[in-house]
Structure 1
């Protein structure tokens, strides 16, 4: 049994959708979450800058004795996960757009992908696309401005609605029946996406698959906490504490042993 925490980081609060699924699958694990909201978004930054910011996040989590790190950011996974796996000894879990389940679910064989620019330009996405997109029509759309709206609590705003109409309605006209959310912030827009698309599409996100992989790796490396462990939860943010707290408590009910720290 290993009582050290799982480390999770994202450019902001988007990774809370991953945290939620990890808590459900691994209720006895302590978790340390780092939201780099002060430097958000990562998706439009130069790769070197995104990599440097991610490395600082990793070093911070390692100083807090994390036993495994979940990169709850598609952008960082796309540009740097292979590099980090070679640099550090702890296991890493990354994110990638959920093309495989989307390919299995679509009936029209037409899929839309909403993601950040860096995710769409990354090697990992291209590999996944080449592997699972055969026989499909795939419509790709960068989600400019969506991350910033989620970070400020504007996921249900008129601006969010207008942006989603701009991004998604052209896909709908092409006959898309499945939309892949390729950024951890985007599930916070799920209700608005359903409104814009009139509940006519299947929305696919990878958070549950990431949680399942986290459990598999913990078991494989004999790092899992056993039943009876008293889990603790630390939340660090480089952004505004009040906004992060609101989003956190809207996402997760009664976090155990919560320690909330603005840095």
Structure 2
């Protein structure tokens, strides 16, 4: 099991923000990343569809003998993880918006959470909000359109700035001092989000915390890679390989190859 890879997946390319934290913390591990970009965004899809796609991708990972699966998608976490966790005999690490550290660091007692509609409407999110409701005021903000722009590799320009301002300015007006990125696509927009929010607001995501949790789980299972060389990273996508290669290479900041997922799991 030491040599087996770790599977990481997202509705699209957003989970690369989590993958880079895993790579940074566990450089010796072999990583498999699946971007289900042909079906992105999950945020506007029915729960049943997300559950089916997540199960299909997890089955793919199991067929590749992964030793752990990271669900690097807040929407898939909210819609599918509770149902799927008992069905797989593989450690599963799921996303949780960084509400806890944000609440601990907030000075105004008001934090904003940027996320997809599906994530905000999920039971996981409602439970998370209720857990910290007595400590801070949490203001969720749905951000339709941002995932699609990141999926296109569109990370700057007037269109994206205007859309981010539309979502962030109302939160700043309500005196938030912590802004939680509740979608793994959003860290790629963090510089613009920070600029628009201003210096009095701290922008925070949970990618590094997920990487630490993964390391902890692997240590407890005594299956951390024990090689002295750097592990490999393999990228798979349900999108056309050419489009996927361009966007993933841009976000990963390296010229990488992308493999088209097998036909059996594309539909």
TM-score above 0.5: yes
- Tell me if the contact between 1:110 and 1:137 (Cα under 8 Å) persists in the aligned partners: yes
Q: Aligned match of 1:262 in 257, 260, 263?
A: 260
Match of 2:33 in 1: 33
- Whether the 8 Å contact between 1:20 and 1:251 is mirrored in structure 2 is no
CA distance in 2, matches of 1:220, 1:147: 35
Cα shift at 1:252: 3.6
Q: Secondary structure at the match of 1:80?
A: helix
Cα deviation, 1:162-193, whole Å, max 9, x if unaligned, reads: 11111110111111111000000011111111
2:188 is aligned with 1:188:
yes
Q: 1:22-101 to 2 correspondence within 5 Å?
A: 22-101=22-101
CA distance in 2, matches of 1:7, 1:96: 18
Structure 1 residue runs of 5 or longer lacking an equivalent are none
Query: Which residue in the other structure is 1:122 paired with?
Result: 122
**Structure 2: unaligned runs, 5 residues or longer:** 262-267
Q: Return closer, same or farther for 1:124/1:190 CA change in 2, 3 Å cut-off.
A: same
**How many angstroms apart in 1 are the aligned matches of 2:126 and 2:47?**
16
Alpha-carbon shift at residue 140 of structure 1 (Å): 1.1
Count of residues in Structure 1 that have an aligned counterpart in Structure 2 = 261
TM-score with structure 1 setting the length: 0.94
Aligned to 1:43, the other structure's residue is in SS state helix
Question: What is the DSSP-based 3-state SS (H/G/I as helix, E as strand, rest coil) of the residue aligned with 2:245?
Answer: helix
Aligned pairs for 1:1-263 within 5 A: 2-229=2-229, 231-252=231-252, 259-263=257-261
Q: CA deviation at 1:253?
A: 5.2
Return the alpha-carbon distance in structure 2 between the equivalents of residues 251 and 132 of structure 1: 33
| Larger deviation, residues 137-146 vs 236-245 | 236-245
Other structure's SS at 1:191 match:
helix
Out of 218-227 and 175-184, give the one that drifted further. 218-227
User: What do you get for the CA RMSD once the two structures are aligned?
Assistant: 1.7
Measured in 2, the distance between the counterparts of 1:206 and 1:148 equals 21
8 Å CA contact retained: 1:153, 1:243: no
